[in-house]
Structure 1
């Protein structure tokens, strides 16, 4: 059917005819009788009220619109649609291809338009969004029917009771072994494990969608389509179970919507039970990955009511508002219409509490959609070593194409209506756009600056070897209190001792020759021998210092801190290697890990008191003394690494022989915070804290720019490291 401009048509003279392939059936919604309309070939569903349905039933291709209005008024009285309402209904029918003029052909049913309205000049953009590419599988209906017959027993009453019991047992296990469960999460942050998590997640999503398909067919529906959708090149499975709208019971639709989450939670519960029973470290790690991907990710993503996932459809049926998103968008448009034009249109069919709930949901969903779009834009711009910025810009243009078209269309309509009627909308809309731009680009957003920190002993308390050799004797143990002058270790270096003995022997021989030359009054020989004597003395001095250092003596009174000291017996140490720490409880400091994005603000706190927070201790104070001038990717303490339960993500060092086996993903600056004697005595070494440095006041645009820059740097660095 050729497209027409609906605003230029004369509906009073041209009768309409409903499409011949439509299906209708009545349902009760919120205590009212309504009718659903289905286009079977496109799997699209619509809902109309009883009054609208009665008006539609009169459109037989021979009755004109005024005649249909008169017949409807005779049956409905004051509840009948007005002439203006009838025109609006007819435009809606034509736009959604539910009807056509009697002189035109029946609407065509093109498969690629199954998920939207009639084709427009902008619809091709939606089909080529690089953020969301859908690829249907051929003959998916037969495949889904075969799988449903095999998996139908999964949703039997006995299987559901068993699954719920398994989930309850898993919840009890998590509560009883929470410390072990939370400690196992550290390994998930390792970059080498991301591939395993991704593969498990993709596999579980296939199972998730299969559960929807099985539940839908068990409830009497059918799966019209199945396939793969690529979200930022990541493959995900999907199934079209829109036939659920044929089910009159909303509880049946809720069962279908929750089937995928239920199956994933059962898998997570079974994995958690096995995790608690097995002793194998490898098996525990694999099972823990399965628990997180099947349990936590399901609750975070699929149960999210702000996106059109399972949680959204469950909520829509629970509050009995099937078209929740459309109603929410309409409520926001009504508010904007009132702000721009002063006219207020309110839908009383929702009732009092639903109307306010739907509006609040619409605002929350809009904000969430903005957050998701920005997050996808940031993620896409750092893909392919930064070349993903092209994908990000293409996706952003496609997202903004329709809103921009609507805005310009509305402005054109306002200007055509006359200058006096367009003054208020233009002024209000310009003010709103200016306010939005100010909020994004210029408005400072105070955010607390809090960085991870760790308690460590002062650098001067660490004893380093002043010579090289093998540790032959250990005279102390970890935690032992020693006094100044006590022997701690004995290092053996026979080559060094032999070299010193040879020099001493040579010195003694030179001393004898010097005496002989003195007795013979040989002045020239005396001068040569004295020069040799001075040279030998100069050579022996550092050797004597190194030989004396073979006995490691405590320089102060304190406690020995060396957890693996006994294991170093017989190990080789080079000059400058750390041996152990001898410190008192007052010899501690706090090392703060300061990111590049906040280091400029933190520098303003040099010499000032800062706040230290820990869940184990009350709030404490310290003083920021210095910040290292250069950033580093070396860990200040292993306690801060994610592998040890800390907050910092790490990666393996490029050089396997490196003493520090882990590196930070992003370079950081180290800050030294002095502690009071009382705080130093209370805080144990290795304790993780958060250090607060007031607030930062950057705008949203500045923070997004810093985030993209940081991710870009990380992508470039990973490419450089791989090369």
Structure 2
């Protein structure tokens, strides 16, 4: 009776009904001084990297050679290496699962169907795990690129590329030299990301991404590559294009591959540079704001996403080409997992010829940085979307995206751990003392996160206001005729500040005086001549007396308004300017009557409405920072806590104070300059009366400041950092989740 080994040996001598696909394409490359073969599947557009020994085995698969013959030929071609029949069978299984070989054995249709279902399942899981970048099936752009490339070949000339780089440098220089003016002209967060700009921002993003992907495709054509897949994707909920230039792996020159990967970045940065000059030299208009959109997308997205090698976008593939390590992130992650398994569980890493043998610190650092940065970017995007949707009652959309994104981040690690221990015999390889020590370490870390309080700070928006100053209001509307003081002047109580004139009031007084005189004459006539002759004279006299009394009261009221056209100081002190009024056209399209502050000489002759703040009278050294604290944080805030203040107009200075009084009632009206629609940080909504009201309940608090240097100004905005009682990291995380999903705290 034949033994198992004899049966295996006998079967190894039989013809192997497996052959290499005839349509596969292969190129010989060198990575880090070692020869590899890149194999392309032209149907599925998949690419594989093989060592010379593995590629030799693939070449031996002709449908007639036996396993034993392949073993003998391999060992003869690559002495002194040896290979077992089991290793050969495992490698052939990998080739079959990858679709690089075909088999004449029966039942292949069922295997292909299973492979297709498995591929679709993985694609679905990958889509659910990355809801911020969803790809749809595309088309083959080769005919279009073959038609377009000859017409735009000049774009790859040295003079044009040099001109683009010159524009980059010029745009950056302009921003650095005029940085203060540049930042002052930028809109606020809610103004830029408000609903009025959503459509234009999406259109700009789509347009730039189309040029971005065409840049990839044309660069691939320029260096002899191909592009067979271009389609639509949703990038942060915005439709745009993607371009698959994986065919660049077939190019032997790593600099050409890197250039293809960097082409999209080059296009976006060039567009952003051109848009910078358009935005700088144009007045507010549609073109002006579209240029700003292009600046934002081409610069911020390049730094945070496309050009960053920690995310699997263009910058990552450029780095992978330059360091000559395909699948850099996968290899780095696998290397880190093996090291963690070795350190925490005592498992020895398996031999893998494709794993890095050098620069191990680089791979560990890269893997950790990529994981951390991916979490940071994801949560930043989620908070950005949540903040954009919140003021418009669309929080449910942000919450749904948060759930799907967190699922994508947590599912893969949990699934990998489960699959790791699911391997038969893996549990028995674990060194129990090492595992117990690791578990204790994790428990200690969790206890630290959940129970050890760490310094905690509450962030609040603020506006500077004068402390204990009297505001001089316009009580009777009029035309600014004379200005007697300027900001910084010392005044005494009752001293005139400005004088207004109101022609309408003067005309009304003249009309009332004339009517009173007519009524007096009529009453005098009735008294002297018709009182006894006309029986109705007494009744008419009574009516005239009532009319005259009403006219005199109206005249007295109007006359009392004349002195109020001269505004005087209510106390002794220093003239302080009110908040600066920008040039803002009215909703009807009319030009504003004044701008700046009413005490500016340029505003002489302007019309001041009733209630306009002309100035303040008080101590110029005493200010009050009015903080707006969300209801979710008010429980941590108490009088006497330390407060650090950063002002937008003085970014290099930090002011320190103590929290004074805290309002017991939630504010009903948001400070105008802190409202999101005015560029502030407090989310607001406009009610039917046109008043800005906070979206979420908020409370006001005050920090008293003394300005001995004379650098503070009324109306400056900023942020305050309130040092409250310490809180554990776990409690903070729970509060964030509870607030996001409206749990009751």
Establish whether TM, by shorter chain, passes 0.5: yes
From 54, 75, 79, give the equivalent of 1:73: 75
Q: Which moved more, 1:266-275 or 1:118-127?
A: 118-127
2:485 matches 1:477: yes
From 216, 223, 227, give the equivalent of 2:227: 223
- Contact 1:188 1:289 (8 Å CA) reproduced: no
Alpha carbons of structure 1 residues 155 and 580: separation in structure 2 relative to 1, 3 Å = same
> How much does 1:600 deviate?
2.5
Matches within 5 A, 1:191-206: 191=194, 192-206=196-210
Q: What secondary structure, in the 3-state scheme, does the structure 2 residue paired with 1:186 have? A: coil
- Contact 1:449 1:692 (8 Å CA) reproduced: yes
Matches within 5 A, 1:264-283: 264-278=268-282, 283=287
From 361, 365, 371, give the equivalent of 2:370: 365
2:608 matches 1:607: no
2:623 matches 1:588: yes
From 708, 715, 720, give the equivalent of 1:678: 708
- Contact 2:336 2:363 (8 Å CA) reproduced: no
| Equivalent residue, structure 1, for 2:571 | 556
2:661 matches 1:626: yes
Tell me how far apart the structure 2 counterparts of residues 421 and 105 of structure 1 sit (CA, whole Å): 39
Report Cα offsets for 1:118-157 as digits up to 9, x if no partner: 6376555446765544323445433343333443332233
> How much does 1:628 deviate?
2.1
Tell me how far apart the structure 2 counterparts of residues 107 and 425 of structure 1 sit (CA, whole Å): 47
| Equivalent residue, structure 1, for 2:587 | none
Gaps of 5+ in 1: 1-8, 507-537, 714-723
Matches within 5 A, 1:124-273: 124-126=124-126, 131-138=132-139, 140-186=141-187, 189-190=190-191, 191=194, 192-231=196-235, 233-273=237-277
> How much does 1:539 deviate?
14
> How much does 1:50 deviate?
1.8
> How much does 1:182 deviate?
2.3
> How much does 1:23 deviate?
2.5
Q: What secondary structure, in the 3-state scheme, does the structure 2 residue paired with 1:296 have? A: helix
| Equivalent residue, structure 2, for 1:719 | none
Matches within 5 A, 1:395-410: 397=407, 403-410=413-420
Tell me how far apart the structure 2 counterparts of residues 24 and 107 of structure 1 sit (CA, whole Å): 26
- Contact 2:231 2:242 (8 Å CA) reproduced: yes
Q: What secondary structure, in the 3-state scheme, does the structure 2 residue paired with 1:78 have? A: coil
Tell me how far apart the structure 1 counterparts of residues 397 and 556 of structure 2 sit (CA, whole Å): 62
From 95, 99, 102, give the equivalent of 2:101: 99
Q: What secondary structure, in the 3-state scheme, does the structure 1 residue paired with 2:359 have? A: helix
Alpha carbons of structure 1 residues 12 and 436: separation in structure 2 relative to 1, 3 Å = farther
Report Cα offsets for 1:402-440 as digits up to 9, x if no partner: 5544443444445x6677968569757866876786687
> How much does 1:309 deviate?
0.7
Alpha carbons of structure 1 residues 263 and 544: separation in structure 2 relative to 1, 3 Å = closer
| Equivalent residue, structure 2, for 1:24 | 26
Matches within 5 A, 1:434-449: 446-449=455-458
2:497 matches 1:488: yes
Q: Which moved more, 1:146-155 or 1:41-50?
A: 146-155
Matches within 5 A, 1:285-296: 285-296=289-300
Tell me how far apart the structure 1 counterparts of residues 189 and 644 of structure 2 sit (CA, whole Å): 31
> How much does 1:41 deviate?
0.6
Alpha carbons of structure 1 residues 229 and 344: separation in structure 2 relative to 1, 3 Å = same
Tell me how far apart the structure 2 counterparts of residues 32 and 488 of structure 1 sit (CA, whole Å): 86
Alpha carbons of structure 1 residues 394 and 176: separation in structure 2 relative to 1, 3 Å = closer
Pairs aligned (count)? 658
Tell me how far apart the structure 1 counterparts of residues 9 and 25 of structure 2 sit (CA, whole Å): 25
Tell me how far apart the structure 2 counterparts of residues 608 and 315 of structure 1 sit (CA, whole Å): 48
| Equivalent residue, structure 1, for 2:318 | 314
TM value normalised by structure 1? 0.77
| Equivalent residue, structure 1, for 2:55 | 53
| Equivalent residue, structure 2, for 1:5 | none
Tell me how far apart the structure 1 counterparts of residues 304 and 108 of structure 2 sit (CA, whole Å): 45
> How much does 1:206 deviate?
0.7
> How much does 1:448 deviate?
4.2
| Equivalent residue, structure 1, for 2:529 | none
From 36, 39, 58, give the equivalent of 2:38: 36
Tell me how far apart the structure 2 counterparts of residues 66 and 442 of structure 1 sit (CA, whole Å): 63
Alpha carbons of structure 1 residues 688 and 577: separation in structure 2 relative to 1, 3 Å = closer
> How much does 1:323 deviate?
1.7
Alpha carbons of structure 1 residues 686 and 180: separation in structure 2 relative to 1, 3 Å = same
Report Cα offsets for 1:418-477 as digits up to 9, x if no partner: 779685697578668767866877676645444443332125421345x54546754523
Tell me how far apart the structure 2 counterparts of residues 26 and 540 of structure 1 sit (CA, whole Å): 102
Tell me how far apart the structure 2 counterparts of residues 394 and 689 of structure 1 sit (CA, whole Å): 34
> How much does 1:316 deviate?
0.6
Tell me how far apart the structure 2 counterparts of residues 612 and 51 of structure 1 sit (CA, whole Å): 66
| Equivalent residue, structure 1, for 2:466 | 457
Q: What secondary structure, in the 3-state scheme, does the structure 1 residue paired with 2:681 have? A: coil
TM value normalised by structure 2? 0.75
- Contact 2:468 2:618 (8 Å CA) reproduced: no
- Contact 2:659 2:702 (8 Å CA) reproduced: yes
Report Cα offsets for 1:636-688 as digits up to 9, x if no partner: 363x56787x6626667455x74x6x666655432211124637x55333344
Tell me how far apart the structure 2 counterparts of residues 257 and 67 of structure 1 sit (CA, whole Å): 43
Tell me how far apart the structure 2 counterparts of residues 69 and 496 of structure 1 sit (CA, whole Å): 116
Alpha carbons of structure 1 residues 385 and 453: separation in structure 2 relative to 1, 3 Å = closer
Q: What secondary structure, in the 3-state scheme, does the structure 1 residue paired with 2:185 have? A: helix
Alpha carbons of structure 1 residues 35 and 137: separation in structure 2 relative to 1, 3 Å = closer
| Equivalent residue, structure 2, for 1:692 | 721
Tell me how far apart the structure 1 counterparts of residues 145 and 114 of structure 2 sit (CA, whole Å): 21
Q: What secondary structure, in the 3-state scheme, does the structure 2 residue paired with 1:119 have? A: helix
Matches within 5 A, 1:376-455: 386=396, 389=399, 393=403, 397=407, 403-413=413-423, 446-455=455-464
Alpha carbons of structure 1 residues 178 and 11: separation in structure 2 relative to 1, 3 Å = farther
Q: Which moved more, 1:447-456 or 1:101-110?
A: 101-110
Q: What secondary structure, in the 3-state scheme, does the structure 1 residue paired with 2:152 have? A: helix
Alpha carbons of structure 1 residues 69 and 334: separation in structure 2 relative to 1, 3 Å = farther
